[in-house]
Protein backbone atom coordinates (compact mmCIF):
# COMPACT_ATOMS: atom_id res chain seq x y z
CA UNK A 1 0.00 0.00 0.00
CA UNK A 2 1.42 3.37 -1.01
CA UNK A 3 1.41 5.90 1.82
CA UNK A 4 2.59 9.47 2.33
CA UNK A 5 3.55 11.35 5.49
CA UNK A 6 3.33 15.13 5.87
CA UNK A 7 5.77 16.36 8.52
CA UNK A 8 4.21 19.65 9.65
CA UNK A 9 6.84 20.86 12.12
CA UNK A 10 6.58 24.33 10.47
CA UNK A 11 2.88 24.07 9.66
CA UNK A 12 1.24 23.51 6.31
CA UNK A 13 -0.21 25.73 3.59
CA UNK A 14 -1.32 25.31 0.01
CA UNK A 15 1.85 26.64 -1.59
CA UNK A 16 4.09 24.60 0.73
CA UNK A 17 2.14 21.43 -0.11
CA UNK A 18 2.40 22.16 -3.84
CA UNK A 19 6.16 22.72 -3.65
CA UNK A 20 6.69 19.56 -1.56
CA UNK A 21 4.82 17.52 -4.20
CA UNK A 22 7.12 18.81 -6.95
CA UNK A 23 10.21 18.19 -4.84
CA UNK A 24 9.01 14.62 -4.22
CA UNK A 25 8.80 13.92 -7.94
CA UNK A 26 5.41 15.12 -9.21
CA UNK A 27 5.99 16.71 -12.65
CA UNK A 28 5.56 20.47 -12.49
CA UNK A 29 3.60 20.27 -15.76
CA UNK A 30 0.85 18.30 -13.99
CA UNK A 31 0.29 21.21 -11.61
CA UNK A 32 0.51 23.91 -14.27
CA UNK A 33 -1.93 22.07 -16.55
CA UNK A 34 -4.40 21.87 -13.66
CA UNK A 35 -4.18 25.64 -13.12
CA UNK A 36 -4.51 26.29 -16.86
CA UNK A 37 -7.69 24.18 -16.95
CA UNK A 38 -9.33 26.51 -14.42
CA UNK A 39 -9.08 29.49 -16.78
CA UNK A 40 -8.52 31.94 -13.92
CA UNK A 41 -5.65 33.87 -15.57
CA UNK A 42 -2.95 32.46 -13.33
CA UNK A 43 0.25 30.48 -13.65
CA UNK A 44 2.70 28.85 -11.26
CA UNK A 45 6.26 30.00 -10.65
CA UNK A 46 8.75 27.38 -9.39
CA UNK A 47 12.15 28.18 -7.91
CA UNK A 48 14.70 26.82 -5.41
CA UNK A 49 15.24 28.55 -2.08
CA UNK A 50 17.25 28.03 1.10
CA UNK A 51 15.36 27.75 4.39
CA UNK A 52 17.77 27.54 7.36
CA UNK A 53 20.17 25.40 5.36
CA UNK A 54 17.51 23.20 3.72
CA UNK A 55 17.31 23.35 -0.08
CA UNK A 56 13.60 23.43 -0.89
CA UNK A 57 11.18 24.07 -3.73
CA UNK A 58 9.10 27.27 -3.61
CA UNK A 59 5.95 27.88 -5.65
CA UNK A 60 4.09 31.15 -6.11
CA UNK A 61 0.83 31.67 -7.95
CA UNK A 62 1.20 34.54 -10.43
CA UNK A 63 -1.32 36.46 -12.45
CA UNK A 64 -0.89 36.48 -16.22
CA UNK A 65 0.78 39.88 -15.82
CA UNK A 66 3.40 38.27 -13.58
CA UNK A 67 2.29 39.59 -10.18
CA UNK A 68 1.94 37.35 -7.17
CA UNK A 69 -1.76 36.50 -7.32
CA UNK A 70 -3.83 38.92 -5.24
CA UNK A 71 -0.99 39.37 -2.74
CA UNK A 72 0.28 42.57 -4.31
CA UNK A 73 -2.80 44.56 -3.28
CA UNK A 74 -2.14 44.14 0.44
CA UNK A 75 0.72 44.95 2.73
CA UNK A 76 1.77 41.99 4.89
CA UNK A 77 0.49 42.04 8.44
CA UNK A 78 3.52 42.17 10.76
CA UNK A 79 2.71 38.83 12.40
CA UNK A 80 1.22 36.98 9.43
CA UNK A 81 3.08 33.94 8.10
CA UNK A 82 1.97 34.69 4.52
CA UNK A 83 2.18 31.00 3.48
CA UNK A 84 -0.40 30.94 0.72
CA UNK A 85 -2.39 34.12 1.10
CA UNK A 86 -2.68 37.27 3.11
CA UNK A 87 -5.78 37.71 5.17
CA UNK A 88 -6.82 40.96 3.51
CA UNK A 89 -10.35 41.60 2.33
CA UNK A 90 -10.39 40.66 -1.35
CA UNK A 91 -13.27 40.07 -3.68
CA UNK A 92 -15.42 37.24 -2.33
CA UNK A 93 -16.60 34.23 -4.29
CA UNK A 94 -19.53 32.04 -3.35
CA UNK A 95 -19.06 28.31 -2.92
CA UNK A 96 -21.26 27.68 -5.96
CA UNK A 97 -19.10 29.91 -8.17
CA UNK A 98 -15.94 28.10 -7.08
CA UNK A 99 -17.66 24.75 -7.65
CA UNK A 100 -18.59 25.90 -11.15
CA UNK A 101 -14.98 26.86 -11.95
CA UNK A 102 -13.75 23.43 -10.84
CA UNK A 103 -16.59 21.42 -12.42
CA UNK A 104 -16.11 23.14 -15.80
CA UNK A 105 -12.35 22.60 -15.81
CA UNK A 106 -12.39 19.25 -17.59
CA UNK A 107 -9.89 17.89 -15.04
CA UNK A 108 -10.13 14.20 -14.03
CA UNK A 109 -13.06 13.59 -11.73
CA UNK A 110 -10.76 12.35 -8.97
CA UNK A 111 -8.99 15.74 -8.99
CA UNK A 112 -12.29 17.61 -9.01
CA UNK A 113 -13.58 15.47 -6.15
CA UNK A 114 -10.65 16.29 -3.84
CA UNK A 115 -10.73 20.00 -4.67
CA UNK A 116 -14.50 20.27 -4.28
CA UNK A 117 -14.34 18.44 -0.96
CA UNK A 118 -11.72 20.89 0.31
CA UNK A 119 -13.89 23.89 -0.55
CA UNK A 120 -17.02 22.25 0.89
CA UNK A 121 -15.14 21.68 4.14
CA UNK A 122 -14.03 25.31 4.15
CA UNK A 123 -17.61 26.41 3.50
CA UNK A 124 -18.96 24.29 6.35
CA UNK A 125 -16.30 25.65 8.71
CA UNK A 126 -17.13 29.26 7.81
CA UNK A 127 -20.86 28.60 8.06
CA UNK A 128 -20.47 27.11 11.52
CA UNK A 129 -18.30 29.98 12.73
CA UNK A 130 -20.64 32.69 11.45
CA UNK A 131 -23.89 30.75 12.11
CA UNK A 132 -24.97 31.20 8.51
CA UNK A 133 -26.27 28.84 5.82
CA UNK A 134 -23.43 27.57 3.65
CA UNK A 135 -25.17 29.07 0.60
CA UNK A 136 -24.68 32.52 2.13
CA UNK A 137 -20.94 32.14 2.65
CA UNK A 138 -18.66 34.16 0.38
CA UNK A 139 -14.99 33.24 0.56
CA UNK A 140 -12.60 36.14 0.82
CA UNK A 141 -9.09 34.86 1.49
CA UNK A 142 -9.68 31.29 0.28
CA UNK A 143 -11.77 32.43 -2.67
CA UNK A 144 -8.77 34.29 -4.08
CA UNK A 145 -7.05 33.16 -7.26
CA UNK A 146 -4.00 31.84 -5.41
CA UNK A 147 -6.01 29.65 -3.03
CA UNK A 148 -8.13 28.16 -5.83
CA UNK A 149 -4.99 27.39 -7.80
CA UNK A 150 -3.25 25.95 -4.73
CA UNK A 151 -6.10 23.59 -3.85
CA UNK A 152 -6.80 22.35 -7.38
CA UNK A 153 -3.13 21.94 -8.32
CA UNK A 154 -2.47 20.09 -5.06
CA UNK A 155 -5.40 17.79 -5.80
CA UNK A 156 -3.88 17.11 -9.24
CA UNK A 157 -0.47 16.39 -7.76
CA UNK A 158 -1.89 14.03 -5.15
CA UNK A 159 -3.88 12.24 -7.84
CA UNK A 160 -0.68 11.76 -9.87
CA UNK A 161 1.08 10.27 -6.83
CA UNK A 162 -1.73 7.70 -6.39
CA UNK A 163 -1.23 7.50 -2.62
CA UNK A 164 -3.60 5.08 -0.91
CA UNK A 165 -3.41 6.68 2.52
CA UNK A 166 -2.16 9.99 3.91
CA UNK A 167 -0.70 10.60 7.36
CA UNK A 168 0.42 13.79 9.09
CA UNK A 169 2.41 14.75 12.15
CA UNK A 170 1.09 16.95 14.96
CA UNK A 171 0.64 20.44 13.53
CA UNK A 172 2.69 23.42 14.62
CA UNK A 173 0.09 26.21 14.32
CA UNK A 174 2.34 29.13 15.29
CA UNK A 175 1.19 32.16 17.24
CA UNK A 176 0.50 35.87 17.13
CA UNK A 177 -2.40 37.36 15.16
CA UNK A 178 -3.68 37.52 11.59
CA UNK A 179 -5.75 40.19 9.91
CA UNK A 180 -8.74 38.49 8.27
CA UNK A 181 -11.66 39.90 6.32
CA UNK A 182 -13.64 40.10 9.56
CA UNK A 183 -10.97 41.64 11.77
CA UNK A 184 -7.86 40.77 13.76
CA UNK A 185 -7.81 37.27 15.21
CA UNK A 186 -5.35 35.20 17.20
CA UNK A 187 -3.59 32.35 15.43
CA UNK A 188 -4.93 29.86 14.41
CA UNK A 189 -7.56 31.75 12.41
CA UNK A 190 -11.16 30.70 13.25
CA UNK A 191 -11.70 28.65 10.08
CA UNK A 192 -8.34 26.93 10.53
CA UNK A 193 -9.13 26.00 14.11
CA UNK A 194 -12.54 24.63 13.10
CA UNK A 195 -10.95 22.48 10.39
CA UNK A 196 -8.32 21.13 12.79
CA UNK A 197 -10.83 19.50 15.15
CA UNK A 198 -9.40 16.16 16.38
CA UNK A 199 -5.93 16.88 15.01
CA UNK A 200 -3.08 17.17 17.56
CA UNK A 201 -1.88 20.77 17.44
CA UNK A 202 0.74 22.79 19.31
CA UNK A 203 2.73 26.02 19.09
CA UNK A 204 6.52 26.16 19.10
CA UNK A 205 6.34 29.81 20.10
CA UNK A 206 6.95 31.25 16.62
CA UNK A 207 4.77 34.36 16.30
CA UNK A 208 3.60 33.62 12.77
CA UNK A 209 0.61 31.87 11.22
CA UNK A 210 1.98 28.43 10.33
CA UNK A 211 -1.21 26.52 9.40
CA UNK A 212 -3.55 28.25 6.96
CA UNK A 213 -7.21 27.43 6.19
CA UNK A 214 -6.12 26.10 2.80
CA UNK A 215 -3.58 23.75 4.35
CA UNK A 216 -6.04 22.53 6.97
CA UNK A 217 -8.77 21.94 4.36
CA UNK A 218 -6.41 19.89 2.19
CA UNK A 219 -5.54 17.65 5.15
CA UNK A 220 -9.24 17.09 5.73
CA UNK A 221 -10.04 16.51 2.05
CA UNK A 222 -7.31 13.86 1.85
CA UNK A 223 -8.59 12.26 5.07
CA UNK A 224 -5.08 12.47 6.53
CA UNK A 225 -4.65 10.49 9.75
CA UNK A 226 -2.66 12.08 12.61
CA UNK A 227 0.24 9.74 13.32
CA UNK A 228 3.80 9.33 14.43
CA UNK A 229 6.14 8.60 11.53
CA UNK A 230 4.63 5.43 10.00
CA UNK A 231 6.66 2.33 9.21
CA UNK A 232 7.41 2.43 5.49
CA UNK A 233 9.90 1.58 2.79
CA UNK A 234 10.64 5.16 1.77
CA UNK A 235 11.16 5.97 -1.91
CA UNK A 236 10.77 9.77 -2.20
CA UNK A 237 11.03 12.92 -0.10
CA UNK A 238 10.16 16.52 -0.84
CA UNK A 239 10.61 19.87 0.90
CA UNK A 240 8.17 22.69 0.19
CA UNK A 241 9.15 26.16 1.41
CA UNK A 242 7.04 28.81 3.06
CA UNK A 243 7.46 32.46 2.16
CA UNK A 244 9.67 33.55 5.04
CA UNK A 245 12.57 32.34 7.13
CA UNK A 246 11.68 31.42 10.71
CA UNK A 247 14.07 31.91 13.61
CA UNK A 248 15.65 28.65 14.68
CA UNK A 249 13.86 26.25 12.33
CA UNK A 250 13.49 25.56 8.60
CA UNK A 251 10.21 26.97 7.28
CA UNK A 252 9.42 23.92 5.16
CA UNK A 253 6.83 21.17 4.85
CA UNK A 254 8.41 17.73 4.49
CA UNK A 255 6.65 15.09 2.39
CA UNK A 256 7.78 11.46 2.58
CA UNK A 257 6.32 8.86 0.20
CA UNK A 258 6.78 5.09 0.35
CA UNK A 259 5.27 1.65 0.68
CA UNK A 260 3.68 0.74 3.98
CA UNK A 261 5.77 -1.70 6.01
CA UNK A 262 2.75 -2.70 8.13
CA UNK A 263 2.48 -5.99 6.24
CA UNK A 264 6.08 -6.78 7.15
CA UNK A 265 5.62 -5.84 10.80
CA UNK A 266 2.18 -7.41 11.32
CA UNK A 267 2.09 -10.59 9.20
CA UNK A 268 -1.64 -11.22 9.48
CA UNK A 269 -3.69 -14.31 8.79
CA UNK A 270 -3.80 -15.16 5.08
CA UNK A 271 -1.51 -12.17 4.36
CA UNK A 272 -4.23 -9.65 5.15
CA UNK A 273 -3.32 -6.20 6.44
CA UNK A 274 -4.03 -6.32 10.19
CA UNK A 275 -1.88 -3.40 11.23
CA UNK A 276 -4.72 -0.96 11.98
CA UNK A 277 -6.67 -0.41 15.19
CA UNK A 278 -10.22 0.91 14.93
CA UNK A 279 -12.38 2.52 17.60
CA UNK A 280 -16.05 1.54 17.92
CA UNK A 281 -18.53 3.79 19.72
CA UNK A 282 -22.07 2.53 20.31
CA UNK A 283 -25.24 3.73 22.01
CA UNK A 284 -28.93 2.79 21.87
CA UNK A 285 -31.46 5.61 21.60
CA UNK A 286 -35.28 5.48 21.58
CA UNK A 287 -36.35 9.12 21.93
CA UNK A 288 -34.78 10.88 18.93
CA UNK A 289 -36.53 11.74 15.68
CA UNK A 290 -35.16 10.35 12.38
CA UNK A 291 -34.30 13.89 11.27
CA UNK A 292 -32.19 14.51 14.37
CA UNK A 293 -30.53 11.11 14.05
CA UNK A 294 -29.58 11.94 10.46
CA UNK A 295 -28.15 15.30 11.58
CA UNK A 296 -26.09 13.60 14.29
CA UNK A 297 -24.68 11.14 11.75
CA UNK A 298 -23.70 14.01 9.43
CA UNK A 299 -21.99 15.84 12.31
CA UNK A 300 -20.00 12.74 13.23
CA UNK A 301 -18.90 12.14 9.64
CA UNK A 302 -17.89 15.79 9.22
CA UNK A 303 -15.83 15.52 12.41
CA UNK A 304 -13.81 12.61 11.09
CA UNK A 305 -15.77 9.40 11.76
CA UNK A 306 -14.86 6.67 9.27
CA UNK A 307 -18.47 5.45 9.16
CA UNK A 308 -21.77 5.83 11.02
CA UNK A 309 -24.61 3.35 10.76
CA UNK A 310 -27.95 2.71 12.46
CA UNK A 311 -29.64 -0.58 13.35
CA UNK A 312 -33.24 -0.99 14.57
CA UNK A 313 -33.37 -2.78 17.93
CA UNK A 314 -36.03 -3.86 20.42
CA UNK A 315 -35.48 -2.19 23.79
CA UNK A 316 -37.03 -2.74 27.20
CA UNK A 317 -40.74 -2.16 27.77
CA UNK A 318 -41.41 -2.98 24.13
CA UNK A 319 -39.87 0.23 22.81
CA UNK A 320 -38.33 0.29 19.33
CA UNK A 321 -34.96 2.00 19.35
CA UNK A 322 -31.86 2.58 17.27
CA UNK A 323 -28.38 1.22 17.82
CA UNK A 324 -26.02 3.96 16.63
CA UNK A 325 -22.54 2.68 15.76
CA UNK A 326 -19.59 4.96 14.99
CA UNK A 327 -16.33 3.69 13.50
CA UNK A 328 -13.28 5.92 13.91
CA UNK A 329 -9.56 6.08 14.48
CA UNK A 330 -8.77 5.78 18.21
CA UNK A 331 -7.23 9.29 18.11
CA UNK A 332 -10.64 10.80 17.25
CA UNK A 333 -12.76 8.74 19.63
CA UNK A 334 -12.91 11.28 22.47
CA UNK A 335 -14.03 14.22 20.33
CA UNK A 336 -16.68 12.08 18.62
CA UNK A 337 -17.95 10.92 21.99
CA UNK A 338 -18.32 14.55 23.03
CA UNK A 339 -20.39 15.24 19.89
CA UNK A 340 -22.69 12.31 20.69
CA UNK A 341 -23.28 13.55 24.24
CA UNK A 342 -23.88 17.12 23.03
CA UNK A 343 -26.15 16.33 20.07
CA UNK A 344 -28.11 13.25 21.17
CA UNK A 345 -30.20 12.33 24.23
CA UNK A 346 -28.02 9.39 25.26
CA UNK A 347 -26.84 9.10 28.86
CA UNK A 348 -24.05 6.64 28.16
CA UNK A 349 -21.80 5.19 25.47
CA UNK A 350 -19.88 1.99 24.93
CA UNK A 351 -16.38 2.18 23.49
CA UNK A 352 -13.91 -0.49 22.47
CA UNK A 353 -10.99 -0.94 20.11
CA UNK A 354 -10.53 -3.84 17.74
CA UNK A 355 -7.99 -4.99 15.20
CA UNK A 356 -9.08 -4.04 11.68
CA UNK A 357 -8.45 -6.71 9.05
CA UNK A 358 -8.50 -5.24 5.55
CA UNK A 359 -7.55 -6.20 2.04
CA UNK A 360 -4.74 -4.28 0.40
CA UNK A 361 -6.25 -1.54 -1.79
CA UNK A 362 -5.31 -0.03 -5.11
CA UNK A 363 -6.99 2.22 -7.66
CA UNK A 364 -7.06 1.94 -11.43
CA UNK A 365 -8.82 4.28 -13.86
CA UNK A 366 -11.11 3.29 -16.71
CA UNK A 367 -12.31 5.40 -19.60
CA UNK A 368 -16.07 6.07 -19.86
CA UNK A 369 -18.20 8.41 -22.01
CA UNK A 370 -18.14 10.81 -19.03
CA UNK A 371 -14.40 10.80 -18.41
CA UNK A 372 -12.07 8.68 -16.30
CA UNK A 373 -13.60 6.81 -13.34
CA UNK A 374 -11.50 5.22 -10.65
CA UNK A 375 -12.06 1.57 -9.73
CA UNK A 376 -11.19 0.59 -6.16
CA UNK A 377 -9.52 -2.83 -6.01
CA UNK A 378 -9.26 -5.15 -3.02
CA UNK A 379 -6.27 -7.50 -3.23
CA UNK A 380 -5.49 -10.74 -1.40
CA UNK A 381 -1.96 -12.07 -1.89
CA UNK A 382 -1.65 -9.73 -4.86
CA UNK A 383 -4.77 -11.04 -6.60
CA UNK A 384 -7.86 -8.86 -7.13
CA UNK A 385 -10.83 -10.26 -5.19
CA UNK A 386 -13.05 -7.16 -5.20
CA UNK A 387 -13.50 -4.31 -7.68
CA UNK A 388 -15.99 -1.46 -7.44
CA UNK A 389 -16.38 1.97 -9.10
CA UNK A 390 -15.43 4.85 -6.81
CA UNK A 391 -18.71 6.41 -5.70
CA UNK A 392 -17.57 10.06 -5.62
CA UNK A 393 -16.19 9.86 -9.18
CA UNK A 394 -19.47 8.36 -10.40
CA UNK A 395 -21.56 10.90 -8.51
CA UNK A 396 -19.64 13.83 -9.99
CA UNK A 397 -20.00 12.42 -13.51
CA UNK A 398 -23.72 11.77 -13.03
CA UNK A 399 -24.33 15.31 -11.80
CA UNK A 400 -22.13 16.98 -14.40
CA UNK A 401 -23.63 15.16 -17.41
CA UNK A 402 -27.19 14.64 -16.04
CA UNK A 403 -26.88 10.87 -16.36
CA UNK A 404 -28.42 8.36 -13.91
CA UNK A 405 -25.87 7.40 -11.27
CA UNK A 406 -26.58 3.69 -11.71
CA UNK A 407 -25.77 4.00 -15.42
CA UNK A 408 -22.39 5.59 -14.71
CA UNK A 409 -21.54 2.93 -12.12
CA UNK A 410 -22.55 0.05 -14.38
CA UNK A 411 -20.66 1.47 -17.35
CA UNK A 412 -17.51 1.92 -15.25
CA UNK A 413 -17.79 -1.64 -13.91
CA UNK A 414 -18.21 -3.01 -17.45
CA UNK A 415 -15.24 -0.97 -18.68
CA UNK A 416 -13.08 -2.47 -15.94
CA UNK A 417 -14.19 -6.02 -16.81
CA UNK A 418 -13.42 -5.40 -20.49
CA UNK A 419 -10.02 -3.96 -19.58
CA UNK A 420 -9.18 -7.00 -17.47
CA UNK A 421 -10.39 -9.40 -20.15
CA UNK A 422 -7.97 -7.91 -22.67
CA UNK A 423 -5.01 -7.52 -20.31
| Strand intervals (E) in 303-413 | 307-314, 320-328, 350-358, 360-368, 371-380, 383-389
CA 288 – CA 356 distance, rounded (Å) = 31
Query: Which helix (H) or strand (E) is 3 found in, with range?
Result: strand 2-7
In whole angstroms, what is the distance from residue 32 CA to residue 397 CA?
24
| Rounded Cα distance, 19 and 250, in Å | 15
Could you tell me how far CA 358 lies from the centroid of its own chain?
A: 22
CB atoms within 10 A of CB 363: 16
Distance (Å, rounded) from C-alpha 382 to C-alpha 37?
36
Residues of the chain with pLDDT under 70: 64-92, 133-143, 180-183, 261-276
Helix 28-38 vs helix 145-161: crossing angle, to nearest 10: 130
Query: What is the residue-wise DSSP string for 210-250?
Result: -B-HHHHHHHHHTTPEE-SSPPEEEEEEEEEE-SS-BTTB-
- The DSSP H or E segment spanning 277 is strand 273-285
**Predicted pLDDT at 135:** 66
The pLDDT score that the predictor gives to residue 164 is 86
Rounded CA separation 408/395 (Å): 8
Strand partners, 353: 279
CA angle 337, 342, 343 (to 5 degrees): 100
Q: Other CB atoms closer than 10 Å to residue 184's CB: what's the count?
A: 11
Helix, strand, coil share of the chain (percent; to 5): 35, 35, 30
Are the C-beta atoms of residues 133 and 72 closer than 8 Å to each other?
no
What architecture is the 360-421 domain classified under in CATH? Roll (3.10)
Check residue 68 and give its pLDDT.
Answer: 61
| Number of other residues whose CB lies within 10 A of the CB of residue 398 | 17
Nearest partner of 109 among 21, 37, 15, judged by Cα: 37
Q: Cβ(188)–Cβ(196) under 8 Å?
A: yes
pLDDT recorded at residue 262: 54
pLDDT recorded at residue 358: 79
DSSP state, residue 13: -
Inter-residue contact 56 to 240 (CB < 8 Å):
yes
23 contacts: CB under 8 Å, gap ≥ 6: 56, 57, 237, 238, 239, 240, 255
* In contact, 21 and 256? CB cutoff 8 Å: no
| Cα separation, 97 vs 396, whole angstroms | 16
Rounded-to-integer distance, Cα 103 and Cα 92, Å: 19
Beta bridge partners of 138: 94
The CATH T-level fold of domain 273-358 is Alpha-Beta Plaits (3.30.70)
Q: What are the sequence ranges of the domains in the chain?
A: 2-264, 273-358, 360-421
pLDDT of residue 83: 43
User: How is residue 189 annotated by DSSP?
Assistant: P
Amino acid sequence: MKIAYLDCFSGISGDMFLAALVDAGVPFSILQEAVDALRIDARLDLRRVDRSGIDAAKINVLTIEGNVAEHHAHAPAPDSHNHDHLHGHVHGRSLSSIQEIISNSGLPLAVQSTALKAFELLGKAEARIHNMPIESIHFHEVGAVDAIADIVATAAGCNWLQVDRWFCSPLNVGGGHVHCAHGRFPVPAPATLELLRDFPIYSSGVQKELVTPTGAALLRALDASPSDFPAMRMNATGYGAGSRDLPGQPNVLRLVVGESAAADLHHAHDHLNAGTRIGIIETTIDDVTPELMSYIADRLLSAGASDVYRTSVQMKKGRTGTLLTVLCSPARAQSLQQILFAESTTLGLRYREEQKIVLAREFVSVDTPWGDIRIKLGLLDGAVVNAAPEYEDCRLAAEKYSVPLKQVMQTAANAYMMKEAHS
